[in-house]
Chains A and B, each alone.
Chain A
């Protein structure tokens, strides 16, 4: 019996909560993958025939491919027939036109994740295309973008509304046969983002997408395609979070960027998928293919990533530098704690004359985690005067974690220049003693030292992301001291 006010209140509160929380009904496919499943998926999305053909071709190709095992990670074999390949929240109407039309349950979930759309709307210059499971549910700031001629929509919409652009560029940077996970994604991608910036346009705001995995046992396979026409500029931000679940979940995304003459694309990611618990149970398998093609002369693609989540990460955002004088950049902070494993890095493929690339990678390992940098710098015969600078730093916290560096350099042009610097350091007892002697808590000291280590990368992030990234490191490092 409830005898005190406090207990009574708690009882009331419980009932209150119970009355108002309702599960979102979801259309979820039975687990399993075959041509019928793909056809059903394509059908639900009312895709044109060519799209279904494209998917089926990818699927048939994928069946002949083998899952890669060269990465410095270990995980139980994935049964691709135990995954459901489609889950969408039920909607009353086809697409909500404004936030008011979005299911309040969804909005509440976003708020729990710290992504209040209403607030984000107010934040100057940020448009949010939110993806909940597999379907975009809210897109804000469409109007000012439309005025500038920028297309920012879900890939499903783009397939309907801009088929010529999609046909021309989808798979042009990451073909279906590129690798096992890209092949799977090509067959079953459920949604994602499409951005098109016309000639000479500087996108008037930062574009941003938050992805979220909700339903259990559901794979998320989003597909992002960004096209920057001649002399255009776009900055795209991507944030990822997922709730805690004991089961592992698969995330196999593909991102393709295309930069034409004098165009510039800046792509920033803060990835905080659920990393699993302290014993290494659960967490996301993040097997992602991200690649940008600098097709035009003087074009530039920059990848900036802060990776703190996922149980296993397999990710190499890359640049193919075809255009003369084109520039590729990769700035990365990858933090692993507890039992997380990361094998991440980049590929810079120099094909054109005087192309240049910069790689700054900061790996932080804590707990019993394993953190590997894997990078390829390649110069084709036509890469006259090309150059690369690579800096690869590892920071170890404690003595049970591991850091590995696998740099590969291939050159078919004698004039190409490569500089490579690598360091491995530890958060030293002396540094900790200095901080603590000045009255600073050990956790705060580690977080400060790690943030200092990552500074070169954080300064590449858009302002609000940089703050978030710093906080994220702090949270991710919890329990790594002592």
Chain B
């Protein structure tokens, strides 16, 4: 489904990704782990098409289509979804309006009729229950005054509504207590499907106890230095990154705002 070949990307002329190769097939769940500053978040942002990052060489294709030719919104409509690590607030715009606009943009792209307010309300209420969010959240401004955990659940709710082909979860576990982690994980597990791939970016192994990946990759210094199965994550938890010859505090991309961790 997703194919990344020799991907190089930089921010403000500083190279962060230095040759990433990755193949993800439909139905698979991949986890990308790595120390702070290894380029994990940068990879997520580049896949989603954030213009703050410049792809200097390499290619990314989704089901054979060159993603690098597409604008952010076009990639989204082709099925790329990014659950943000730090979801931004949009004051005054209700979650409901925002989500309906997004869902209808996707539907229009697929040649389906738009959902009216009542239809959408019904759908959104059902989905909000899946991530244990009070439907009252739908009326509040997008992420406005949400707690960290609420923001993360809101992100997963959006994934469930938009039903992407590839869901990229950027540090979705950060800042969650154990109960919230369980709720979010349930939501992510509900996303698992044969025709969908999930790419999880995380610093910690604990998320992988809840969402069991098929493959684990270690990213360091802008490259994937080791790939393996579920057991690799457990080994990392036990032994840290040192045995792979990686220091945990690399600062490769610490200067790039929002691209670290």
A448 and B98 within 8 A (CB) = yes
Pick from A431, A433, A440, A454: contact of B101, CB under 8 Å: A440
The answer to whether A165 has its CB under 8 Å from any CB of chain B is no
Pick from A428, A439, A455: contact of B76, CB under 8 Å: A439
Docked complex Cα distance between A451 and B94 (Å): 11
The answer to whether A464 has its CB under 8 Å from any CB of chain B is no
Docked complex Cα distance between A388 and B60 (Å): 58
A438 and B92 within 8 A (CB) = no
The answer to whether A441 has its CB under 8 Å from any CB of chain B is yes
Q: How many residues of B contact A (CB 8 A)?
A: 32
Output the least CB separation between A441 and chain B (Å): 6
B76 and A434 within 8 A (CB) = no
Give the residues from 452 to 470 in chain A that come closer than 8 angstroms, CB to CB, to chain B: 452-456
The answer to whether B135 has its CB under 8 Å from any CB of chain A is no
- The dominant DSSP class at the A interface is helix
**Nearest-neighbor residue (CB-CB) of B143 within chain A:** A434
B141 and A452 within 8 A (CB) = yes
Contacts of B260 in A (CB 8 A): none
A436 and B92 within 8 A (CB) = no
Contacts of B98 in A (CB 8 A): 435, 438, 448
Give the residues from 66 to 116 in chain B that come closer than 8 angstroms, CB to CB, to chain A: 71-73, 76-77, 80-82, 84, 87-88, 90-93, 97-98, 101-102, 105-106, 109
The answer to whether A143 has its CB under 8 Å from any CB of chain B is no
The answer to whether B158 has its CB under 8 Å from any CB of chain A is yes
**Number of A-B contacts defined by CB within 8 Å:** 75
Pick from A436, A448, A449, A451: contact of B73, CB under 8 Å: A436
Give the residues from 159 to 193 in chain A that come closer than 8 angstroms, CB to CB, to chain B: none
Pick from A431, A436, A438, A448: contact of B97, CB under 8 Å: A448
Contacts of A438 in B (CB 8 A): 76, 98, 101-102, 105, 158, 162
Contacts of B90 in A (CB 8 A): 431, 434-435, 448-449, 452
Docked complex Cα distance between A431 and B88 (Å): 6
A: interface residue count bin: 20 to 34
Contacts of A436 in B (CB 8 A): 49, 71-73, 76
Output the least CB separation between A463 and chain B (Å): 15
Given contacts A429-B52, A434-B90, A437-B82, contact A448 B72 (CB under 8 A): no
The answer to whether B255 has its CB under 8 Å from any CB of chain A is no
**Nearest-neighbor residue (CB-CB) of A362 within chain B:** B92
A437 and B52 within 8 A (CB) = no
B101 and A434 within 8 A (CB) = no
The answer to whether A444 has its CB under 8 Å from any CB of chain B is yes
Docked complex Cα distance between A434 and B155 (Å): 11
The answer to whether A430 has its CB under 8 Å from any CB of chain B is yes
Contacts of A428 in B (CB 8 A): 88
Docked complex Cα distance between A306 and B71 (Å): 33
Contacts of B101 in A (CB 8 A): 438, 440, 444, 448
- B-side residues, CB < 8 A to A, are 48-52, 71-73, 76-77, 80-82, 84, 87-88, 90-93, 97-98, 101-102, 105-106, 109, 141-142, 158, 162, 258
- A-side residues, CB < 8 A to B, are 428-431, 433-442, 444, 448-449, 451-456
Which 8 pairs of residues, A with B, have the shortest CB-CB distance?
A: A452-B92, A452-B93, A438-B102, A439-B105, A439-B76, A436-B72, A455-B92, A430-B88
